[in-house]
Chains A and B, each alone.
Chain A
Amino acid sequence: MNGMVSYNVPHFFGEGLVPWGMLIVVHFFLSGMAAGSFIASAAASYLDDERYKKIAAAGAYLALLSIIVDVPILILDLDRPFRFITLLYRGSVTAPLTWGVWFLIGLGLFSLLNIALQRGVEAVKGSKALILVIGSVCAVGVSAYTAVALNVATNARPLWSDGAVIPVFMVASATTGIAAVSLAVSLSGGRKGLSSLNAANAVLLLFQLALVAFMLITASTSSPLSREAAGVILSGGLSLVFWIGLVTIGLVIPVIVSWSNVLAKGAEPKAGTTALISAMVLVGVLALRYIIVYGGQIIPLT
C-alpha cells in the first residue's frame, strides 16, 4: 500500500480554500454572459432587425448589465482591490487577465453603443456594422479570456491544461448569452424569435454536452493528475454539482426540451417553458464553471 503519510505540512490549498474561488466562478460566468448576450444581440441585429428587435435589445442591455456587475466582482476578488487601476497602465501583455480586463472594458463600451443603436440613437446608426463587429471581437475576446486564463495560466493543472477547456468555455459563453436573452425575452412576455434562440441553444447545448464528455474522457485517460481530477468530478467531492447541476439540470433536460421544440416545428415555444429551461441552462453553466475552476485546483500539484 503506497501513499501512507504519517503527517504532511498542509502547504496545499485543498477543498474550499483554492486560489480562485467562488468569486472567480461568478466572474467567469458573468463575463461569459456579457459576451454571449452581446453576440446574441449582434447576431439578431445583423440577421433581422425587425423580427429580433426584442432579442437584440435584451442582449445589448444584458451585456452591459453583466459587465457592470462583473467588474466589481473581479475587483472585489483581488486581495489588493485598490491596486486594480494599475492593471490599466502596467498591464503585462503575456497575462490573460490584462487582456481580459481590456476586452471587458471594450465590451462594456460597445455594449453601451449597442444600446444606443438598439434605441435608435441617430448618432450611432451609421456605425452599426463597426459597433457590432468590434463589439463582437471584444465579446469573443472576453469569452476566450475566461478559458485562456485557465489554459495559459498553467501547463500542469488538470482540466485546465487540456485544450478542451477553451471550446468548452467558449460554447458555455454562447449558451449563457442565449439562455440569458431567452430568459429576459420570455419574462418580458415576448415570444418573437424565441424559436431561433431555442434552435441555436439546442445545437450549442449538444456541442457543450459533447465537449464536456470529451474533456472528461481525455482527462480520465491522460495523466494521473487529470485522472484524479476527473474522478473528483465524476464520483468525488464535485460529483453532486456535476451530475445534478450540470448534467441533469444544465444539459440533459434542456437538450430534450429544446430538441423537442425544434422537432415540433411549431410556432414560438411557450414563454414559461423557455424561461424555465433558460434558467436551467444558466444554472448548468454556473455549475460547469464551478466544476472546472475548482476541479483544476482541488488536487495538490506536488
Chain B
Amino acid sequence: MGLKRRDFLKIGAVAAAAVALGPKVLKAMEFADGGVTASHVTGAPRVEAVPYTCLQCNVEDGGLAFIENGRVVKLEGNPKHPGNRGKLCAKGNAGTNQLYDPDRVLYPMRRAGRRGEGKWKRITWEEAYQELAARINEVLDRAKAGKGSPNEIALHIGRNRWFGFDNRFMNALGSDTRLNHTSICESSKKIGMQATWGPDIETPDFTNTKYMLIFGGNVYEAGYFHNPYVQRVVEGRVDNHAKLVYFDPRMSNTAGKADEWFPVFPGTDGAVALAMCNVIVSSKLHNEAFINRWTNYPADKLAKYLEQFTPEWAEKVSSVPAKDIKRIAIEFALAAPRCTTYTYRGPAKHFNGAYSERCTMLLNIVTGSIEEKGGYCLPRGVSFKHPQPEPPAPKEKSELAHPREYPLAEHKVSHHVAQMIKEGRQKISVYIRHYYNGCYSNPDAETWREVYLDEKLIPFHVSMDTFMSEATALSDLILPETTYLERFDIENMPSSIETPWVGIRQPVVKPLGECKSYRDIVLELVTKHLDPTGGRGVKKYFDYGTTEDYIKYMAESVPGVKEAGGWAYLKKNGVWSPKPVDAEPEYGLYKKNGFGTKDKKINIYAEEWARHGFNPLPHYEPIPAHEKMKEDDLVLITFKWNVHVQSRTANQKWLAEIIHYNPVWINAKVAEKKGIKTGDLVRITSRIGYMVTKAFVTEGIHPRVVAVSNSFGHTEYGRLASLKLKEKPEWATSDDPEYLHVFWKDKGAHPNFIIPVSTDPIGGSQGWYDTVVTVGKAEPGDRYQDYKVDMEAARKAYEETLRYTYSGPDFRGRAPGAKKDGKKKSA
C-alpha cells in the first residue's frame, strides 16, 4: 500500500473537519492507541504482550500484559476488547500490585496454633491435598452409611468466576451447599429484573441516548460496567449532548458531574420512579402500543394503577421536590425512545430492593424505550457448553443454600449463613472458601468472625486464597491460589451493546511460588487424592484433560469461535466477538423471539410474586426501620471509592496512596448543629453496636444520611492494607522497598461490624443502606477505629428480618387481590 497510515489519517482528519467531530474520529489520533508499549528506561518496544481479562473488579475488561524477563512490567487495555476498548481504569492499571504483593501467600500452610492465632506451618501440596481429601471422604463415607449428608461439605465462593465448575465439583460430591456472595452484591436488582423481562441486567445505549436517568448507579466510579459504560456515557453526554439526571443520597462523582443531582432519601427511588411513570402516563406521553403489545398488563389498567403515586406523595416520601419529579418525567418521556434508566446498588440494596428495581424499569417500559436506539436494551451475551459428562444435581437440598424463607431469592441469601450455622440449621463439617472474606465483607461481620472462630460450628475451614484475608486468618488449611494474571478462566460479560464477546484469562506469567489456580486445585484434589481410582464416582466428571482443555472446550462451544481460529485465536487475542469493536449496535432483539419470560412478554404483573403473596405490580414498600426513625436518627450508607473495590484493593500501593481512609460523610448543616468538624472523632451507633471514626463534613450528602466507604479498615490482608508496615508476616517471602515511602498513617475504620442484617424478603439481598444510626461526637475514652458489637442485638436484628419474610408474622408485601399462599400466616 502506497499510502502510509499517517497520510491516510491526515486525509481523514481534513474530511472530518467539515463535519461535526464524532467520537470515532477522536480515536484516530496520530499515534497508536494501545496494543504496543515501550520501556521508559531503554525506549525499546515491549514485544511480549499476553492478553488477559482483568479481575480487579467484576467488569471483566480485556487487558494486555507486557512482559520483560518473565516479569509483568505493564498492564494496558486490550484494544480488541469490545467492552473496555483498550482502556483500563485505575484499578486495572494497578494489577501488578496484586500480582507482586510481597505479602501474598505462596505456599500451602497448615494452622500451627489456636485458630486465628496467626501461627502457620508450611506444608507440601501433597500433605494439603491428603488432609482435605481425607476430610471430604470422611463426610462422604459417613453419608453413604446414612450417618450424615454430603451437604456437610460447603463451598463458599465470593467473586465467582468458576462458570459452572463449582456445580461440577459440588454436584459430583453430592453436596448442594454451594454458597455465594450475590446477596451482599446486587441480587435484588437481578431478582426484580428477572421477574420483569428475563435477563438479570440491562444494557443502556448510553452512546446514542438523549436522556440518562440514573438511580443509585455510580457509573463514573463503579458498578456494572464502570469502565465500558462510562466511556459511552461521556460519548453520549459530550458528543451527543445527552442529559444526565442522577439520584443518590451522596454526591458521588456521577452526581457531581451530572446535569442534575437529586439527593433522594435512601430506599425511596421506587416511589420517585412510580410518580414519574404516573406523570408520563397521565400526560399521555407513554407508548400505549408498546405496553399493550409487549407487556402483560394493559395500558389503561396500568394508568389506573399508577394514579395513586402522585408526585406530591413521592416528594413526601423521597424528599425530591414534586415539581422536579414532574419536570424530569416529562423531559424523559419527550426524549423517548432515546431515553434510558440505569440502576445499580442504590435502589436495590434495601429491604424493598426488588420492588424498586421494577419501578425504575417501568419508566423504560411506559416510554417504550426498550431495545430502541439510545434506549434501554437487553444484555448482549453468549453462553457456553461444558465438557461431558456433567454430574446430576444433588438429591438433598441445602438449607444454607436455599433458606425456606426466601423462595424467590434464587441468587441465595448467603449473608445469613453465619447466623444460620449458629442456630444449627445445617451441620458443616468441611468449609471450603474461595475469594470470599466472610468476616469482613458481610453485614454483622462480627457474627461471621465468631462462627469462623468456633471449631464446633466449623470443624474444618479450608481457604483457597491469594492473600491472608481476615477470613483466611481464621482458617485451618490454606491453599495458595493464583491471581487473575496467573490462571485460565473464561468470561462473557455483556458489557458492550455493540457486540457480545468471549474473553479468556490465561497465565501471563508462571504462577508465583507454589500457587495453583482453583481449577487446578480441584482437578488435582479429585483425580489424585479424593477419588484416584474413580471408585467414588467423582473422578469421571473430571476426565476432561487439563484445565486449559476445559476452558478451550467452553470457548470453542460458542458458535463462530472455531471458525475464527478457536482456542489459538483466543490465546493470541484474548477476546473474540462476532462483530467488530466499533460495530453499529442492533436493536429490537426481542422482536424475533420475545422476552426471556414465560409468556415472552415484559411482565409488569409478576405472577410468581403474587403466588407468594408479594405485590405483583411495581410497588413502593416503605422500609420498616426507616418508618420508625426518630428526629435525630440518620441512615448509614456505604460506598466504594472509585479506585478501590470493597475488600480486595487496600493492599495495592498505587491505589492505597490515592485514597486509604474512610471518614464518615456528614451534611454540613447537621454537623454544625452537632458541633462536628472535619477530622473530629465521632461515634456512629446502630442497633447492634457502635464504631468510632473521623468526620468529613460536606455539602454533598442528604442531611438525613451519613456515608462510610467500605473499602478500608483491614486488620489483615498484608502489611499495607493493615498498615503494619514493620510487621513482616512469617509467610511473606519478599519485601517491597516502596513501603518505605508510604506516608499515610490512617488505614480507615471498617463499618460492616455495626451494620445489622436487613434482608429484602423477595430478593434475599442485604439492605446495606437501611441502617438507622445516631451520630455524635466521640465519647470520653473513645479511640479511633474502636468498635463494639452487641452479639445479642445482632441476633435479634437477624431474627427480626426473618419476621418480614413471606412466611413470617410481620409479612407486609401483599397487594390487594394478590393470591394467598397456604404457608403464609397473615398480611
Once the chains bind, are A6 and B700 in contact (CB under 8 Å)? yes
Once the chains bind, are B641 and A7 in contact (CB under 8 Å)? yes
Chain A residues numbered 58-109 whose CB sits less than 8 Å from any CB in chain B: none
Cβ contact of B743, chosen from A1, A4, A6, A10, cutoff 8 A: A10
**Given A7-B641, A7-B659, A9-B658, A1 contacting B668 (CB threshold 8 A):** yes
For the complex, is B696 an interface residue (Cβ under 8 Å from A)?
yes
Cβ contacts under 8 Å, B697 to chain A = 4
**Given A9-B658, A10-B743, A1 contacting B700 (CB threshold 8 A):** no
Once the chains bind, are B699 and A4 in contact (CB under 8 Å)? yes
Cβ contacts under 8 Å, B696 to chain A = 6
Residue from A7, A9, A10 with most neighbouring chain B CB atoms (10 Å):
A7
Tell me, rounded to whole Å, the shortest Cβ–Cβ distance linking B261 to chain A: 14
Cβ contact of A4, chosen from B641, B657, B658, B700, cutoff 8 A: B700
Tell me, rounded to whole Å, the shortest Cβ–Cβ distance linking A10 to chain B: 7
Contact string against A for B residues 687-730, beta-carbon threshold 8 Å, 1 for contact and 0 otherwise: 00000000011111000000000000000000000000000000
Residue in B closest to A17 when the chains form the complex, CB atoms? B743
Interface residues of chain A: helix, strand, loop or mixed (majority): loop
Cβ contacts under 8 Å, B641 to chain A = 7
Tell me, rounded to whole Å, the shortest Cβ–Cβ distance linking B556 to chain A: 45
CA distance A1 to B251 in the complex (A): 14
Cβ contacts under 8 Å, B659 to chain A = 7
Cβ contacts under 8 Å, B668 to chain A = 1
Cβ contacts under 8 Å, A7 to chain B = 641, 658-659
CA distance A1 to B665 in the complex (A): 15
Cβ contacts under 8 Å, A1 to chain B = 668, 699
Tell me, rounded to whole Å, the shortest Cβ–Cβ distance linking A11 to chain B: 10
Residue in A closest to B253 when the chains form the complex, CB atoms? A6
Contact string against B for A residues 1-20, beta-carbon threshold 8 Å, 1 for contact and 0 otherwise: 10010110110000000000
Cβ contacts under 8 Å, A6 to chain B = 665, 696, 698, 700
CA distance A6 to B696 in the complex (A): 8
CA distance A9 to B665 in the complex (A): 18
CA distance A6 to B709 in the complex (A): 11
Tell me, rounded to whole Å, the shortest Cβ–Cβ distance linking A128 to chain B: 56
CA distance A288 to B658 in the complex (A): 36
Contact string against A for B residues 739-751, beta-carbon threshold 8 Å, 1 for contact and 0 otherwise: 0000100000000
Chain A residues numbered 1-43 whose CB sits less than 8 Å from any CB in chain B: 1, 4, 6-7, 9-10
CA distance A7 to B641 in the complex (A): 10
Residue in B closest to A2 when the chains form the complex, CB atoms? B699
Tell me, rounded to whole Å, the shortest Cβ–Cβ distance linking A5 to chain B: 9
Interface residues of chain B: helix, strand, loop or mixed (majority): loop
CA distance A4 to B678 in the complex (A): 10
Residue in A closest to B698 when the chains form the complex, CB atoms? A4
Tell me, rounded to whole Å, the shortest Cβ–Cβ distance linking A288 to chain B: 30
Cβ contacts under 8 Å, B700 to chain A = 4, 6
CA distance A9 to B743 in the complex (A): 12
CA distance A70 to B684 in the complex (A): 55
Tell me, rounded to whole Å, the shortest Cβ–Cβ distance linking A59 to chain B: 45
Cβ contacts under 8 Å, A9 to chain B = 657-658
Residue in A closest to B696 when the chains form the complex, CB atoms? A6
Cβ contacts under 8 Å, A10 to chain B = 657, 743
CA distance A6 to B643 in the complex (A): 13
Chain A residues numbered 165-189 whose CB sits less than 8 Å from any CB in chain B: none
Residue in A closest to B643 when the chains form the complex, CB atoms? A7
CA distance A209 to B689 in the complex (A): 60
CA distance A1 to B668 in the complex (A): 9
CA distance A7 to B709 in the complex (A): 12
Tell me, rounded to whole Å, the shortest Cβ–Cβ distance linking A300 to chain B: 16
Residue from A4, A9, A10 with most neighbouring chain B CB atoms (10 Å):
A4
Tell me, rounded to whole Å, the shortest Cβ–Cβ distance linking B253 to chain A: 9
Cβ contacts under 8 Å, A4 to chain B = 697-700
Residue from A4, A6, A9, A10 with most neighbouring chain B CB atoms (10 Å):
A6
Residue in A closest to B660 when the chains form the complex, CB atoms? A7
CA distance A82 to B707 in the complex (A): 52
Contact string against A for B residues 652-690, beta-carbon threshold 8 Å, 1 for contact and 0 otherwise: 000001110000010010000000000000000000000
Residue in A closest to B665 when the chains form the complex, CB atoms? A6
CA distance A1 to B658 in the complex (A): 24
CA distance A10 to B742 in the complex (A): 12
CA distance A9 to B656 in the complex (A): 10
Residue in B closest to A1 when the chains form the complex, CB atoms? B699
CA distance A210 to B305 in the complex (A): 80
Tell me, rounded to whole Å, the shortest Cβ–Cβ distance linking A79 to chain B: 15
CA distance A10 to B641 in the complex (A): 16
Chain A residues numbered 142-180 whose CB sits less than 8 Å from any CB in chain B: none
CA distance A6 to B657 in the complex (A): 15
Tell me, rounded to whole Å, the shortest Cβ–Cβ distance linking A229 to chain B: 23
Cβ contacts under 8 Å, B665 to chain A = 6
CA distance A9 to B654 in the complex (A): 11
Residue in A closest to B252 when the chains form the complex, CB atoms? A6
Residue in B closest to A10 when the chains form the complex, CB atoms? B743
Residue in A closest to B743 when the chains form the complex, CB atoms? A10
CA distance A4 to B256 in the complex (A): 12
Residue in A closest to B697 when the chains form the complex, CB atoms? A4
Contact string against A for B residues 452-492, beta-carbon threshold 8 Å, 1 for contact and 0 otherwise: 00000000000000000000000000000000000000000
Contact string against A for B residues 185-199, beta-carbon threshold 8 Å, 1 for contact and 0 otherwise: 000000000000000
Chain B residues numbered 580-618 whose CB sits less than 8 Å from any CB in chain A: none
Tell me, rounded to whole Å, the shortest Cβ–Cβ distance linking A7 to chain B: 5
Tell me, rounded to whole Å, the shortest Cβ–Cβ distance linking A12 to chain B: 13
CA distance A7 to B657 in the complex (A): 11
Tell me, rounded to whole Å, the shortest Cβ–Cβ distance linking A9 to chain B: 6
CA distance A238 to B657 in the complex (A): 28
Residue in B closest to A7 when the chains form the complex, CB atoms? B659
CA distance A1 to B697 in the complex (A): 11
Contact string against B for A residues 108-123, beta-carbon threshold 8 Å, 1 for contact and 0 otherwise: 0000000000000000
Tell me, rounded to whole Å, the shortest Cβ–Cβ distance linking B671 to chain A: 11
CA distance A206 to B657 in the complex (A): 49
Tell me, rounded to whole Å, the shortest Cβ–Cβ distance linking A32 to chain B: 34
Tell me, rounded to whole Å, the shortest Cβ–Cβ distance linking A16 to chain B: 12
Cβ contacts under 8 Å, B698 to chain A = 4, 6
CA distance A4 to B696 in the complex (A): 9
CA distance A204 to B174 in the complex (A): 95
Residue in A closest to B658 when the chains form the complex, CB atoms? A9
Chain B residues numbered 624-663 whose CB sits less than 8 Å from any CB in chain A: 641, 657-659
CA distance A7 to B743 in the complex (A): 15
Residue in A closest to B256 when the chains form the complex, CB atoms? A6
CA distance A174 to B665 in the complex (A): 54
CA distance A4 to B699 in the complex (A): 8
CA distance A7 to B696 in the complex (A): 10
CA distance A7 to B655 in the complex (A): 13
CA distance A88 to B668 in the complex (A): 57
Tell me, rounded to whole Å, the shortest Cβ–Cβ distance linking B779 to chain A: 27
CA distance A7 to B661 in the complex (A): 9
Tell me, rounded to whole Å, the shortest Cβ–Cβ distance linking A18 to chain B: 15
Residue in A closest to B251 when the chains form the complex, CB atoms? A6
Chain A residues numbered 117-139 whose CB sits less than 8 Å from any CB in chain B: none
CA distance A6 to B641 in the complex (A): 10
CA distance A4 to B677 in the complex (A): 13
CA distance A10 to B661 in the complex (A): 13
Cβ contacts under 8 Å, B743 to chain A = 10
Tell me, rounded to whole Å, the shortest Cβ–Cβ distance linking B266 to chain A: 19
Tell me, rounded to whole Å, the shortest Cβ–Cβ distance linking B442 to chain A: 26
Tell me, rounded to whole Å, the shortest Cβ–Cβ distance linking B607 to chain A: 45
CA distance A10 to B658 in the complex (A): 8
Tell me, rounded to whole Å, the shortest Cβ–Cβ distance linking B254 to chain A: 13
Residue in A closest to B250 when the chains form the complex, CB atoms? A6
Residue in B closest to A9 when the chains form the complex, CB atoms? B658
Q: List 11 A-B contacts (CB under 8 A).
A: A1-B668, A1-B699, A4-B697, A4-B699, A4-B700, A6-B665, A6-B698, A7-B641, A9-B657, A10-B657, A10-B743
**Closest 8 pairs between A and B when the two form their complex, measured CB to CB:** A7-B659, A4-B698, A1-B699, A9-B658, A4-B699, A1-B668, A4-B700, A6-B698
Q: 4 additional contacts, CB 8 Å, given A4-B699, A7-B658? A: A4-B697, A6-B700, A9-B657, A10-B743
